[in-house]
Structure 1
Amino acid sequence: MRITGYRTLSTVHDWGRPIGDANGTVGSGRTSVPIVVLTTDTGLEGIGLGSHDGVDALFPALDGQDPRAVVALYDRMLAWVFKRGHTGAVFGAIGALDMALWDLKAKAVEQPLWRLLGARDHVVPAYASGLDGPLPDDELIRLHKQFAERGLQAVKLKGGLDVADDVRRLDLLSELYREQIGSAPALMLDANESWARKEAVRHIRRIEEHVDLAWVEEPVRRWDVDGLAMVTRSVKAAVATGENLTGLEQFRPLLAANAVDIVQTGSVWGITHFLRVSALAHAFDLPVSPVGYDVNPLGHAAAVVPNHLSIEIQDLGMPVGIRADQEVVDGHLVLGEAPGLGYVVDEDAIARLAGPGSWDEDAGPHVRPDRAGRRLVVKPAIRNGEAR
């Protein structure tokens, strides 16, 4: 089997609600989902999700190769961008192609990827996380009631701007999940790199006077080894980070400095990256937790990782034109028996889309606000335009 070509598609995920975090909001609730499809001379096609940026430059590294040599081809792609670097969107393109390669490898032997990777079971522990920063209380409760009805027993809230608001919203979720599941849920708070070091410690300690936090996520900048280590030493909650790091070389300093308690990877960076980071974390006796993405592509890899803690479920719906052989049941992501990743893409449905989605709006969560890490008060005065 040889790789013969590729095509790119773009669909949308309609969340049915505004989504966002401390950095910003996508008010339309309609976001883009890039898809890469690798074609082969046998007619099999591999599906990957991640980024289109850099695919054109990376494809020559795969052209004519046997896709079953996934790990070697992953390193070949890294070598292909040796001089200009593999970070950012390019790493997302590597991740999408890597995902498509693993999909092909499993399809070639007509097995689901979780079984090909060597997992004993196809049931993966999961937690709820609705990108719920902009939601008012009634919509927050409505959303998380759906998660609780699926048996999820841990929940992550977007916050970080107002201590009192975070405590109140965490209490709301705790009460809701107690009613639905009959016990207190594990509670997490995600600040999305919005704090300075001391600001993080002050905010978390004040929350911990009222709420038992399982972990706090990305309290300071992703590369701030000293700052993350300081936060870890200063609060009771575990510190989770890593979703925006691209490559083992970015994780190594954090682990060596005891600056992280829960090691995370972003789903858009691919399966091989997750497996390698998980092995590195395992050497330090640290758990890993994949950050969620459309159709939960790291679920198959999480099923085989011995130090996997829980996978993030961001939504119960699917992007337009994508079906996945998986479901959320009794607090777990349950993977099916369909070959590969278990994805089916309806290109006709995607072609009928009325318009694109976006993550890159000026007021969206992917654009860092001017005052992030420098907020003395919750709502700073507006001067020369809108303060964020």
Structure 2
Amino acid sequence: MTDGFTIRSIEAFCYRYPLATPVVTSFGKMLNRPAVFVRAVDEDGVEGWGEAWSNFPAPGAEHRARLVNEVLAPGLVGRKFDSPAQAFETLSKGTEVLALQCGEPGPFAQAISGIDLALWDLSARRQRLPLWRLLGGQSDTIKVYASGINPGGAAQAAGAALKRGHRALKLKVGFGTETDLANLATLRGLVGAGMLASDANQGWSMAQALQMLPRLAEFDLRWLEEPIRADRPREEWRRLRAAATMPIAAGENISSVEAFRDVLSEGVLGVVQPDVAKWGGLSLCAGLARDILAAGKTFCPHYLGGGLGLLASAHLLAGIGGDGWLEVDANDNPLRDRLCGSIINVREGTVKLGEEPGLGIVPDLASIERYRSI
């Protein structure tokens, strides 16, 4: 088979897993875990799978699934493409005005990303290569860290992650100085000399961030993520960098090639975290990841969703290389665990992706059918 393909069908499937314990961020709670999985099939019957970011707002997952099924898929079915990147360009250019008219560039970018990931999986399967090899990787082993550790029950969540094989942790902060510092002290004690990072989820004002920075210095953080809003002026981010003793991280809320070029051209961010299911898919983020490494920064793909997007993020990290970590959510989510293949098996802070073609798995949707919403 060549790497060109003609698309027979594209379909999105939407799921919701109810949570006993909400996932908490500084800007709100997730009462359930949504997932929008995308299946692409070519004229030879080869399948590929992807995922579109759909965490917020609460009803957003169904909307993104319908964007795929009713708006985007009809523009691709029956067409031949030389590569996933060509299909990505066709979708992106073809819907620019519509996204602008709707005021919805984000949802369109997320839905297109889900399709793009599916087409990359399909393309790798056609070439009988694991996706990480198609992306140029030399090793199937990557480092991971346990993410999504809430302010309540942080010690228990971190302890459970360490028992599962994790050796690196990231704590959510932005819940008051006393709570944040107490949780950081506890997690530093649990992980010892291992990697510890923190994520404020854009939760602080500039004044609050500057006040917190000296208090955070004692915890030897690998990075502080999104201490202020992603859209604050670059001068504010430069002031933070000057005052910080740890690297500053961001990227999940950057959504243009130009904006990423800006942050790569300056010394503010030490860790850059694009999200392949939220913006750019692999068609843009693979090149971006190489640019991040070339700029002397650490590439750590952002991810907090279902298993297929997690797998795609893992293959990108393995494909590009570098010394970064894959983000693995520590919270309960069968939409992740039943579809993330070997990533469920963390050993001494690492996972192995293996040599199976594409993402390495064929999703068992029957196992999550009870959570289907549309």
Most deviating of 212-221 and 315-324: 315-324
Match of 2:149? Answer: 132
Number of matched residues? 344
**Residue 320 (structure 1) shift:** 7.3
Contact 1:68–1:105 (Cα < 8 Å) also in 2: no
- Kept in 1, the 8 Å contact 2:188–2:219? The answer is no
| Structure 1 residues 247 and 333: CA distance shift in structure 2, 3 A | farther
Residues 114-125 of structure 1: pairs in structure 2 closer than 5 A: 114-125=132-143
Match of 1:181 in 2: none
- Equivalent-residue separation in structure 2 for 1:239 and 1:330 (angstroms): 26
Distance (whole Å) between structure 2 residues aligned to residue 333 and residue 102 of structure 1: 21
Question: Cα–Cα, structure 1 residues 14 and 300, in superposed 2: closer, same or farther, change >3 Å?
Answer: farther
1:280 and 2:291 correspond: yes
Residue 311 (str. 1) matches residue 323 (str. 2): no
Match of 1:249 among 236, 243, 258: 258
Normalised TM-score (structure 1) = 0.81
Question: Which shifted more, 237-246 or 333-342?
Answer: 333-342
**Whole-angstrom distance in 2 between the partners of 1:231 and 1:320:** 35
Matched, 1:111 2:113: no
Amino acid at match of 2:245: K
Q: CA deviation at 1:156?
A: 0.8
- Look up the SS of the partner of 1:351 in the other structure: helix
Rate the CA distance shift 1:79–1:272 in 2: closer, same or farther, 3 A: same
Match of 1:54 among 45, 59, 67: 67
Worse-matched range after superposition: 189-198 or 299-308: 299-308
Superposed displacement of residue 127, structure 1? 1.2
Q: Does the 8 Å CA contact 2:169/2:195 hold for their aligned counterparts?
A: yes
1:160 paired residue among 174, 181, 200: 174
Take 1:18 and 1:68, find their aligned partners in 2: how far apart are those partners? 43
Counterpart secondary structure, 1:18: strand
User: Equivalents in 2 of 1:195, 1:211: separation in Å?
Assistant: 19
Are 1:298 and 2:302 counterparts? no
Q: 2:271 matched to which residue of 1?
A: 262
Give 2:220's aligned residue. 212
Question: Aligned in 2, Cα 1:52/1:226: closer, same or farther, shift over 3 Å?
Answer: farther
Match of 2:238 among 211, 222, 229: 229
Matches within 5 A, 1:182-221: 184-208=193-217, 210-221=218-229
Q: Secondary structure at the match of 1:110?
A: coil
Aligned in 2, Cα 1:66/1:342: closer, same or farther, shift over 3 Å? farther
Tell me which amino acid in the other structure corresponds to 1:24: G
Q: Distance in 2 between matches of 1:17 and 1:72?
A: 42
The answer to which of 332-341 and 98-107 deviates more is: 332-341
- For residues 29-87 of structure 1, give each alpha carbon's deviation from its aligned partner in whole angstroms, at most 9, with x where no partner exists: x3110111112221122111014263233334432234551122222222112324583
Structure-1 residue corresponding to 2:249: 240
CA distance in 2, matches of 1:211, 1:194: 19
In 1, are the aligned partners of 2:7 and 2:76 still within 8 Å (CA)?
Answer: yes
Q: Is this contact kept in 2: 1:21–1:132, CA < 8 A?
A: no
Superposition map of 1:373-388 within 5 A: none
The 8 Å contact of residues 14 and 31 in structure 1, kept in 2 or not, is answered as yes
SS at match of 2:253: coil
CA offsets per residue over residues 310-334 of structure 1, 9 Å max, x none?
1111137541794333132220122
Conserved? CA contact 1:128–1:156, under 8 Å: yes
Q: 1:304 to 1:290 in 2, by over 3 A?
A: same
Say which of 314, 323, 337 aligns to 2:339: 323
For the structure 1 residues 249 and 112, does the alpha-carbon distance in structure 2 shift closer, same or farther, using more than 3 Å as the test? same
Does structure 1 residue 9 correspond to structure 2 residue 27? no
Structure 2: distance between partners of 1:174 and 1:206: 14
1:112 shift after superposition: 1.6
State which of 12, 22, 25 in structure 2 corresponds to 1:21: 25
**Unaligned stretches of 5+ residues in structure 1:** 179-183, 358-388
* Sequence identity (%): 26
Secondary structure class of the residue paired with 1:64: coil
* Structure 2 residue corresponding to 1:144, chosen from 158, 171, 177: 158
Letter in 1 for 2:289: S
Alignment match, 2:355: 337
Query: How has the CA–CA distance of structure 1 residues 274 and 163 changed in structure 2, closer, same or farther, with 3 Å as cutoff?
Result: same
**SS state of the match for residue 198, structure 1?**
helix
Residue type at the aligned position of 2:199? D
Q: Report deviation, 1:25.
A: 1.8
SS at match of 2:78: coil
The alpha-carbon distance between structure 1 residues 112 and 331, as it changes in their structure 2 partners (threshold 3 A), is: same
Task: Report deviation, 1:258.
Answer: 2.7
Taking the aligned partners of 1:213 and 1:285, their CA distance within structure 2 comes to 19
